[in-house]
Amino acid sequence: MKTNVKNILLNGTMACALAMLALGTGRATAQTTEPAAAKADPNAVTAIDILLEPDATMIQRATATNDRLRKVFPKGFALDASHRPHISLVQRFVLTDNLDKVYAAVGKVFASANVTGLKLEAFKYYYIPDKDLGLSGIVIKPTPELLKLEQQVIDAVTPFAVKTGTSAAFVTGPDPEILPALITYVAEFVPKHSGENYHPHVTTGLAPREYLDKMLKEPFEAFTFSPTGAAVYHLGHFGTAAKKLKQFDLKP
């Protein structure tokens, strides 16, 4: 996905208030945050990321890489509350009014899956180029178990998916315009970035391409890690996990 990363370097806080809801879904029960637009417009759309939250091993490596990149490119973003380290399973547009149904359907998948038992291997860096900058990440090998979970989540959310959305579907902060390339990416995530085209990764930040080219030539010490959580997030600029909407309880 190509984006003009210079135009959206910083995210702000959400412009609208969020309504807090409690939703019970079998084993998956948690506090939820639903966009207030659901009450105002039954046709409102939300761009969501159904994702896995990595353990401390991955967070430490991703944060260390992010710190390194910000030293050479201070205008880049930090891995903070609006840029959570994560592994996307699927990104979709859904009717905001159907978010509770999405939580229930996806919650059933996570309640029965052994998510925390997944053993994943991070094995290299990569980046998405945009002119003289690159959006960097740590690449994860897709295991059969991870691919199965991804497909189950896709199947659960598909009945509630809509074809596309506008900038209003995202967390935008002070920059209200989401680039068309990101909207297209989310709209086409299934099938263009799922299944055999699924490339799991953890985004680590922005830096000049010249620097990233050198970093990619360095030896990468592969490591294993496991997910510790699963959640639904409201997408923001860069396709970041900008606002948590739903946290699921997982089998230990």
Q: If you write DSSP's letter for every residue of 190-224 in order, what string do you get? A: HHHTSGGG---EEEEEEEEHHHHHHHHHS----EE
pTM of model > 0.85: no
Which pLDDT value is given to residue 237?
Answer: 87
Pairing assessment for the beta strands 28-35 and 120-130 based on DSSP bridges: unpaired
Which pLDDT value is given to residue 39?
Answer: 53
Quick one: which H or E segment has residue 89?
strand 87-95
Which pLDDT value is given to residue 83?
Answer: 86
The answer to whether 224 and 119 are in contact (CB under 8 A) is yes
Which pLDDT value is given to residue 42?
Answer: 84
Which pLDDT value is given to residue 37?
Answer: 45
Report mean pLDDT in 10-residue bins for the chain, 252 residues: 41 27 30 48 94 97 97 94 92 98 98 96 95 95 98 98 97 91 96 96 96 98 97 91 94 76
Which pLDDT value is given to residue 5?
Answer: 43
The answer to whether 125 and 136 are in contact (CB under 8 A) is yes
The answer to whether 206 and 135 are in contact (CB under 8 A) is yes
Q: Measured between alpha carbons, how far is 233 from 216 in angstroms, rounded to an integer?
A: 29
Tokens of 205: 């930040």
Which residues have CB under 8 Å from 67's CB, separation 6+?
A: none
Chain centroid, CA 94 distance in Å: 15
Which residues pair with residue 233 across a beta bridge?
49, 244
Which pLDDT value is given to residue 20?
Answer: 23
